[in-house]
């Protein structure tokens, strides 16, 4: 009896860890089935399926079946089978407690939804444990077999439970959206600016908010508040009669998502920051991507007196929207490459400062100086300038306001790290355009240049070519490249070596301690380390000193 209780406790502790992890993963993927499924195409996702302990448990299940058909050897192997199970669950419980103690346990951010889901999942686990005990209280092996089967199937069962509860989520979601629509409709004079695109949305939103706030009362969506629920909550919790402008960042992971968001907020001005293939795996086709994340749905939602502002540097925007015949007040193209409606010239890039001149075809011009890292933010500032111009700001007013833009609002952040090394933090979000631009920025340093990044995800059919482009740029700029995920490492390395990079200087390392041992010697004042994409928190903490 004591052994049953002990094993049951170890099993339950282990199942709590699995439940928290899969709820974390579902939340990370925003409960989007396509994004969740795509995770298991990556090396990390495949490792979850083919984890050594999972394989060991499946082998134990097969051994049990063999024992059932060969009772003569069952007596000899029963103790070994039980001991193996005890070792596995003891080890997993110890890992769970270690993660809790070190605060490295992966768990979802506490929200009403995750608390509800967590309560349901843990209650189901506890009920399953009690029921198995009651039914098989006199048959230890069958009881343990049921626990083992539930264990092996738990990721699937937890995910199935999350999906099965989605109807309740949909009802709640519709209720929140309808309330937000009704409240938004009360503000007849509110100017709403919607921002979408594959990249640059957050920086453009932050720059425009800073500029417009110098003269107007501005509300903008907060970090990670770019979904239908986040935007609706922003309206319900924060929108008030004092607000003159509402700036809304709009994210999309499927066809029709932006249409849903525009129905809620009813924008009069739209901004499309740029289009690339970053989420092609989720949209399936470029046509679907361009429709939603690419801005077509936003453009079609604007009223007759609406304004659309587009990034003329984006090839996909130019090829899809350059000659639109729109019944809108105006269609504005911004560019750093050629003279369009608004353009930037004389661009000078320093390590943590940009200076340039912005000109419009109606004759306005002003010199800009901003404390931002990386040339790619010039595109986002141009879009913000166009938005402010439509709100009645002069270029001189915009230039003065732009001086108040903070470095942390940009795509890249320049920090001092351990040993005085310069760190470029680009861990908020990674996409092919951003990675290439950040690698270009490293050329401003005279010392050693290092990049640490995972492979990009959700790129679908263009993933191989995108990573080959990254490999080429690494060969041009980097002395050392560390890739933290396996998915497209071979493609990156092959292309970098082809262009002359030493194969010993482009490495696949995923253990934070190994990465630290490799790069700590580079932590010197004259060197620079670029951090791209989602990286281990412990490694970032060491680098920041």
Strand order in the sheet with 307-311: 218-220, 245-249, 191-196, 269-272, 307-311, 330-335, 342-349, 354-360, 365-370
> 3-state DSSP call for residue 433?
helix
Please identify which residue in the block is written with the tokens 């262009």. 499
Q: Given pLDDT bands bounded at 50, 70 and 90, which one contains residue 75?
A: low
Region 504-533 average pLDDT: 92
Region 315-330 average pLDDT: 79
In this prediction, residue 289 carries a pLDDT of: 84
Phi and psi for 245 in degrees, rounded to 5? -135, 140
Comparing 237 with 431, the larger pLDDT belongs to 237
* Pairing outcome for strands 307-311 and 245-249: unpaired
Q: 527 is written with which tokens?
A: 């060197």
Comparing 288 with 247, the larger pLDDT belongs to 247
pLDDT at position 545 over 80: no
Average per-residue pLDDT for the chain = 88
In this prediction, residue 381 carries a pLDDT of: 95
Q: Tell me the per-residue pLDDT of 520-543, one tens digit each, with 9 for 90 and over.
A: 899 999 999 999 988 887 888 888
Q: Tell me the domains of the chain and their CATH numbers.
A: 2-164 (no CATH), 188-409 (3.40.1190.10), 413-544 (3.90.190.20)
C-alpha–C-alpha distance, residues 485 and 483, integer Å: 6
Q: Which of 71-80, 86-95, 246-255, 469-478 is predicted least confidently?
A: 71-80
pLDDT at position 76 over 70: no
pLDDT at position 111 over 90: no
C-alpha–C-alpha distance, residues 520 and 38, integer Å: 34
Q: Do residues 51 and 92 make contact, with C-beta atoms less than 8 angstroms apart? A: no
Q: Which of 61-70, 365-374, 389-398, 429-438 is predicted least confidently?
A: 61-70
> 3-state DSSP call for residue 535?
coil
In this prediction, residue 395 carries a pLDDT of: 93
pLDDT at position 394 over 60: yes
Comparing 470 with 165, the larger pLDDT belongs to 470
pLDDT at position 1 over 70: no
Q: 188 is written with which tokens?
A: 């007849």
Q: Given pLDDT bands bounded at 50, 70 and 90, which one contains residue 346?
A: very high
C-alpha–C-alpha distance, residues 321 and 254, integer Å: 20
Q: 96 is written with which tokens?
A: 């769970």
Q: Given pLDDT bands bounded at 50, 70 and 90, which one contains residue 297?
A: very high
Q: Which of 233, 251, 235 is nearest to 243 (CA)?
A: 235
- In sign, the C-alpha dihedral spanning 321, 322, 323, 328 is positive
> 3-state DSSP call for residue 331?
strand
């Amino acid at each position: 009896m004591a052994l049953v209780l002990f094993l049951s406790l170890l099993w339950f502790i282990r199942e709590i860890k699995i439940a928290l992890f899969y709820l974390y993963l579902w939340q990370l993927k925003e409960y989007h089935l396509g994004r969740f499924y795509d995770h298991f195409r990556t090396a990390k996702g495949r490792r979850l399926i083919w984890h050594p302990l999972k394989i060991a448990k499946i082998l134990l299940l097969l051994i049990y079946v063999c024992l059932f058909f060969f009772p003569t050897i069952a007596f000899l192997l029963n103790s070994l089978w039980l001991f193996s199970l005890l070792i596995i669950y003891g080890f997993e419980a110890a890992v769970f407690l270690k993660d809790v103690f070190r605060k490295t346990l992966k768990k979802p951010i506490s929200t009403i939804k995750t608390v509800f889901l967590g309560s349901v999942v843990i209650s189901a686990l506890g009920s399953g444990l009690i029921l198995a005990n009651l039914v098989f209280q006199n048959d230890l092996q069958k009881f343990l077999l049921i626990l083992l089967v539930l264990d092996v199937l738990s990721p699937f069962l937890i995910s199935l439970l999350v999906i099965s509860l989605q109807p309740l989520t949909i009802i709640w979601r519709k209720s929140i959206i309808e309330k937000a629509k009704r409240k938004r409709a009360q503000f007849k004079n509110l100017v709403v600016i919607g921002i979408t695109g594959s990249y640059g949305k957050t920086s453009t939103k932050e720059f425009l908010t800073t500029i417009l706030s110098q003269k107007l009362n501005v509300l903008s969506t907060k970090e990670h508040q770019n979904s239908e629920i986040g935007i609706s909550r922003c309206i319900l919790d924060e929108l008030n009669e004092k607000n003159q402008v509402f700036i809304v960042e709009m994210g999309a992971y499927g066809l029709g998502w932006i249409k849903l968001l525009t129905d809620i907020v009813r924008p009069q001005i739209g901004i499309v920051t740029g289009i690339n293939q970053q989420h092609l795996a989720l949209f399936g086709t470029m046509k679907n991507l361009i429709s939603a994340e690419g801005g077509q749905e936003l453009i079609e939602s604007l009223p007759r007196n609406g304004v659309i502002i587009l990034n003329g540097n984006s090839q996909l925007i130019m090829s899809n929207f350059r000659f639109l015949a729109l019944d809108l007040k105006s269609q504005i193209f911004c560019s750093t490459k050629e003279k369009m409606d608004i353009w930037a010239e004389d661009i000078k890039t320093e390590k943590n400062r940009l200076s340039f001149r912005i000109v419009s075809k109606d004759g306005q011009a002003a010199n800009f100086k901003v404390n931002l890292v990386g040339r790619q933010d010039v595109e986002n500032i141009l879009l913000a300038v166009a938005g402010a111009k439509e709100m009645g700001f002069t270029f001189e007013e915009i230039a003065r306001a732009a001086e108040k833009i903070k470095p942390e609002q940009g795509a890249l952040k320049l920090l001092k790290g351990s040993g005085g090394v310069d760190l470029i933090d680009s861990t908020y979000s990674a996409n092919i355009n951003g990675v290439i631009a950040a690698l270009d920025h490293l050329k401003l340093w005279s010392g050693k240049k290092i990049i640490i990044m995972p492979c990009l995800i959700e790129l679908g059919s263009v993933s191989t070519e995108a990573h080959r482009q990254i490999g080429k740029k690494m060969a041009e700029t980097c002395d050392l490249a560390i890739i933290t995920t396996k998915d497209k490492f071979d493609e990156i390395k092959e292309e970098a070596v082809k262009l002359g990079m030493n194969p010993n200087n482009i490495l696949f390392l995923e253990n934070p301690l190994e990465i630290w041992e490799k790069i700590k010697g580079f932590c010197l004042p004259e060197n620079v380390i670029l951090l791209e994409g989602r990286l281990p928190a412990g490694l970032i903490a060491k680098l920041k000193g």
